Amino acid sequence: MKTFLYLILSLFLFPVLNSRGDTRPNVILILADDMGLGDISLFNGGKTNTPRLDALIKESAYFEKAYAGSAVCAPSRAALFTGRYPHRTGCVTLNPRKFPEMTRIKLDETTLADRFSKNGYTTGLIGKWHSGTGENYHPLKRGFHEFAGFSESWDIKTYFNYRLDVQGEYRDYTDNYLTNDLTDRAIDFVRRHQQKPFFLHLAHYAPHRPLSAPENLIKKYTEKGFNEKTATIYAMIEMMDTGIGKLIDELDTLELRENTLIIFSSDNGPDPLPGERYNLNARGAKYTVYEGGIHVPFLMNWKGTIKPERRPEIIQFTDVFPTLMELCHLAPNPPAKPLDGVSFAGLISSQFEAPELPHYRFWQWNRATPIYSHNAAIRENQWKLIRPFITPNIPKEDSSEASTLYDLDKDPSESQDLATEYPEIRQRLEEKLKQISSEVESSRNRQE
């Protein structure tokens, strides 16, 4: 009933914004890979050069407490695509060659692309998929009309030598730079589909390994005193920022900006393997459920509709699916399984009801089959309980490490364990963490 009312209201609330005669906004969902909050020059005192992202943040609803769906890429994307905790989707780990069944979204799950395509949108994915390999798990079978990208990291030897799957056919490229190539394909998609609503997921690989960028840009950062690896990462980020700017400029040229919702985020925090770099003094990095692994940049920009402001609410990737359903007035076709996320459309537009966001937020990751005593976290308001990260390898048994408790409002760097000072809060969150873990594991093991 609620969705039906949104569809009726959309006829009155949104004016026709261009000649195509469709009031529904285009959506461009841009995702960086292994990019941290500290990689944005607006937040790092100019260590990097990201003028287009800096400007976009100032022009957008920017969520200061936004979280990825997981501490690693494939599960995080599964949460983004489905609105459900990644464990429920079956996509829980990395390396599709070793763990094909645990690195793909179950076929009975509804993806964002499914929902948009069934509602008359043209859908495209450009860049990284990493949500399932095999014929039935190809993006073209999961709701996307167009795909130009890759599903496996070994397709990218370097950013100057890579292999792309374009509509199911593979081609090798040695005459371009990957980030520029993805940008050009995104611009081409927008040009070709400007006359009807489109959903474009631009899944950049930058700044994920293999580290590679134009030498002159790397030199720019080594001359500022950064080591070779950090300089390369910053150069990769600058190349991506430039490309995002070109895409936005094209939207302006085509007079689509006021009818296009732009989202930007990162799938998780910085990869520690190339070495540590500045990340707002957050503890941890990719692979861990500390803030450095899951706290990510997140903005929503819809010129003339969404007010530019900083938002203090806690949101998570699971909220994106229902939020886009509401903002774009999408009918529930095909139907989705019960969502873990909640629409936050009412936070950024008075045209929607104020949301009651989830009281608890949950994360867990370990390599291979989930063991929920490893690297798990639950957040309730300012309180965050963590079952510590033990190993980047496959854990052999349950962890006996005691949980830790942090007050993130007073201690955003998670440096002061308050578990012994607040035993009742610790116990309550431990019980809730066990409950959610049991629920998502049961869902993961269901028969499709």
| Number of Cβ within a 10 Å radius of residue 270 | 26
Amino acid at 123: T
Q: Are 112 and 324 in contact (CB under 8 A)?
A: yes
Binned at pLDDT 50, 70 and 90, residue 13 comes out as very low
What integer pLDDT is reported at residue 99 of this predicted model?
A: 96
As to burial, measured by CB atoms within 10 angstroms (0-12 exposed, 13-18 middle, 19+ buried), residue 442 is exposed
Pick the CATH number of 23-348 from 3.30.470.10, 3.40.720.10, 3.90.850.10, 1.10.150.530: 3.40.720.10
What integer pLDDT is reported at residue 5 of this predicted model?
A: 42
Asked if pLDDT for residue 317 goes beyond 80, the answer is: yes
What integer pLDDT is reported at residue 20 of this predicted model?
A: 57
Strand partners of residue 65:
314
Angle of helix 228-253 versus helix 51-58 axis, rounded to 10: 60
Please give the DSSP secondary-structure letter assigned to residue 419. Answer: T
Residue partners of 413: CB distance under 8 A and separation at least 6: 281, 282, 283, 291
What integer pLDDT is reported at residue 21 of this predicted model?
A: 66
Structure tokens at 233: 């990462």
What integer pLDDT is reported at residue 335 of this predicted model?
A: 87
User: In degrees, to the nearest 5, what angle opens at C-alpha 288 toward C-alphas 94 and 416?
Assistant: 175
What integer pLDDT is reported at residue 11 of this predicted model?
A: 40
Strand partners of residue 156:
162
Could you tell me where the DSSP H helices lie in 306-411?
Answer: 320-327, 345-348
Residue partners of 447: CB distance under 8 A and separation at least 6: none
Per-residue pLDDT of 74-98, as tens digits, reads 999 999 999 999 999 999 999 999 9
Q: Are 102 and 92 in contact (CB under 8 A)?
A: yes
Q: How far apart are CA 61 and CA 308, in angstroms?
A: 5
Q: Beta strand pairing status for 161-166 and 146-150?
A: antiparallel
Asked if pLDDT for residue 14 goes beyond 80, the answer is: no
User: In degrees, to the nearest 5, what angle opens at C-alpha 75 toward C-alphas 239 and 367?
Assistant: 105
Q: Are 246 and 254 in contact (CB under 8 A)?
A: no
As a CATH number, domain 361-444 is: 3.30.1120.10
Determine which of 262-266, 334-338, 435-439 has the lowest per-residue pLDDT on average.
334-338
SS3 label, residue 421: coil
Please give the DSSP secondary-structure letter assigned to residue 448. Answer: -
Q: Are 233 and 277 in contact (CB under 8 A)?
A: yes
Across the chain, mean pLDDT equals 95
Per-residue pLDDT of 345-358, as tens digits, reads 999 999 999 999 99
Per-residue pLDDT of 104-134, as tens digits, reads 999 999 999 999 999 999 999 999 999 999 9
* Mean pLDDT of the region 334-339: 92
- The structural domains of the chain, with segments of one domain joined by +, span 23-348, 361-444
Asked if pLDDT for residue 416 goes beyond 70, the answer is: yes
Q: Are 28 and 247 in contact (CB under 8 A)?
A: yes
Per-residue pLDDT of 122-178, as tens digits, reads 999 999 999 999 989 999 999 999 999 999 888 999 999 999 999 999 999 999 999
Q: What count of Cα atoms within 13 Å lies in the side-chain half-sphere of residue 37?
A: 24
Structure tokens at 359: 């009281």
Q: How far apart are CA 410 and CA 204, in angstroms?
A: 34
As to burial, measured by CB atoms within 10 angstroms (0-12 exposed, 13-18 middle, 19+ buried), residue 421 is exposed
Per-residue pLDDT of 266-287, as tens digits, reads 999 999 999 999 999 999 999 9
Count the helices and strands in the chain (H runs, E runs): 13, 15
| Number of Cβ within a 10 Å radius of residue 147 | 25
What integer pLDDT is reported at residue 114 of this predicted model?
A: 98
Asked if pLDDT for residue 3 goes beyond 70, the answer is: no
Q: Are 289 and 389 in contact (CB under 8 A)?
A: yes
SS3 label, residue 86: helix
Angle of helix 215-222 versus helix 228-253 axis, rounded to 10: 120
Which among 301, 244, 398, 316 is positioned nearest to 80, based on CA atoms? 316
Q: Beta strand pairing status for 376-380 and 298-301?
A: unpaired
What integer pLDDT is reported at residue 7 of this predicted model?
A: 41
